[in-house]
C-alpha cells in the first residue's frame, strides 16, 4: 500500500500528469518535453526524475541525449493508463497532444530526408543479397515456430525486422549506431503503432544487455559492415 501511495503522490501534480500523458504517446527526450510544455529544462528534469523513481516511466541514454518512455506491462503500467484516461480531456492535455503531433511531423520529415538522400545506397545494398521477400518469409517461419518473449535486432536500420516480428514476439528491441537510422526506425514504429517495439542506440560489439536476457537475436544485412564479424556473433551469443 505505501508503494502505491508514493506512486500516486508522484503522479499527482499537473506537470507530471502532462508528462505521463505525453510519454505514453511517444518516446521523448528532455528538450522535446521542454519545448512542448514551455517550461524550464531543470524543472522538467526534476519532474522526470520523480516519475522515474516512482517507477512510472523509464529513462535510457542515447549518446548525449536522455529519452523517456512508458513501462510496458505490469500493475504500474495499468495504473498509468488509467490515470491518462482520466486526464486526457483536459485543455492542457489536448494542447500538448497537438504540439506532440507537430513535433512528430518534424521528426518524420527529417527522417524521410535522410532516407531519401541515402536511398541509392540502400538499393545497392539490397541488390547484393537474397530478395527481401524470401528473407522475410524465412524469418517469419523461423521465429513463428518458437515462443519468443524478448527479441533483438542488431543493426536495425529502418526497423523493418521489428515491424515483421512484432505480431509474433513479446518485446522487440532494435539497436543501431546511426542516430539518423534510429530516427527513421522510431518514426516507422510510431506510424505502425508497434507498442511492443523500441529502437535504441547501441554498439554491436558491446551491448548493454545482460547475459542470456534474450530469446532470439537477428543480424540482417549487418555483418558485412563489421571489421570483426566473429566478435559481433560472440556478443550476440552472450545476450
Distance, CA of 38 to CA of 154 (rounded, Å): 36
Question: Is the model more confident about 176 or about 64?
Answer: 176
pLDDT on residue 3: 79
What average pLDDT does the segment 211-226 reach?
89
Question: Is the model more confident about 172 or about 117?
Answer: 172
The answer to which of 106-110, 125-129, 225-229 has the lowest mean pLDDT is 125-129
Distance, CA of 154 to CA of 157 (rounded, Å): 9
Q: What is the pLDDT of residues 121-169, one digit of tens each?
A: 665 665 665 667 888 888 899 898 888 999 999 999 889 999 999 999 9
Instruction: Express as a percent the part of the chain with pLDDT over 90.
Output: 38
Asked if pLDDT for residue 75 goes beyond 80, the answer is: no
CB neighbours of residue 38 within 10 Å: 9
Instruction: Tell me the average pLDDT of the chain.
Output: 85
- Of 18, 27, 1, which is closest to residue 200 (Cα–Cα)? 27
φ, ψ of residue 49 in degrees (nearest 5): -60, -45
The answer to which of 19-28, 106-115, 124-133, 170-179 has the lowest mean pLDDT is 124-133
Asked if pLDDT for residue 225 goes beyond 80, the answer is: no
pLDDT on residue 106: 81
Amino acid at each position: 500500500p505505501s508503494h502505491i501511495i508514493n506512486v500516486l503522490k508522484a503522479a499527482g501534480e499537473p506537470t507530471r500528469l502532462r508528462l505521463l500523458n505525453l510519454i505514453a504517446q511517444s518516446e521523448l527526450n528532455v528538450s522535446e518535453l521542454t519545448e512542448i510544455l514551455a517550461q524550464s529544462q531543470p524543472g522538467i528534469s526534476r519532474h522526470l526524475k520523480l516519475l522515474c523513481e516512482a517507477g512510472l516511466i523509464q529513462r535510457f541514454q542515447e549518446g548525449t541525449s536522455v529519452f523517456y518512455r512508458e513501462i510496458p506491462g505490469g500493475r504500474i503500467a495499468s495504473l498509468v493508463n488509467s490515470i491518462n484516461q482520466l486526464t486526457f480531456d483536459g485543455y492542457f492535455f489536448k494542447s500538448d497532444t497537438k504540439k506532440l503531433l507537430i513535433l512528430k511531423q518534424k521528426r518524420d520529415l527529417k527522417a524521410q530526408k535522410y532516407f531519401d538522400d541515402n536511398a541509392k545506397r540502400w538499393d545497392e545494398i539490397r541488390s547484393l543479397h537474397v530478395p527481401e521477400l524470401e528473407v522475410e518469409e524465412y524469418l517469419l517461419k523461423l521465429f513463428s515456430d518458437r515462443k519468443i518473449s524478448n527479441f533483438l535486432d542488431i543493426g536495425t536500420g529502418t526497423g523493418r525486422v521489428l515491424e515483421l516480428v512484432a505480431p509474433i514476439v513479446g518485446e522487440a528491441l532494435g539497436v543501431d549506431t546511426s542516430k539518423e537510422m534510429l530516427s527513421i526506425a522510431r518514426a516507422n514504429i510510431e506510424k505502425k503503432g508497434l507498442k511492443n517495439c523500441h529502437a535504441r542506440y547501441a554498439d554491436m560489439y558491446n551491448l548493454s544487455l545482460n547475459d542470456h536476457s534474450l530469446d532470439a537475436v537477428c543480424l540482417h544485412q549487418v555483418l558485412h559492415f563489421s571489421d570483426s564479424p566473429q566478435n559481433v556473433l560472440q556478443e550476440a551469443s552472450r545476450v
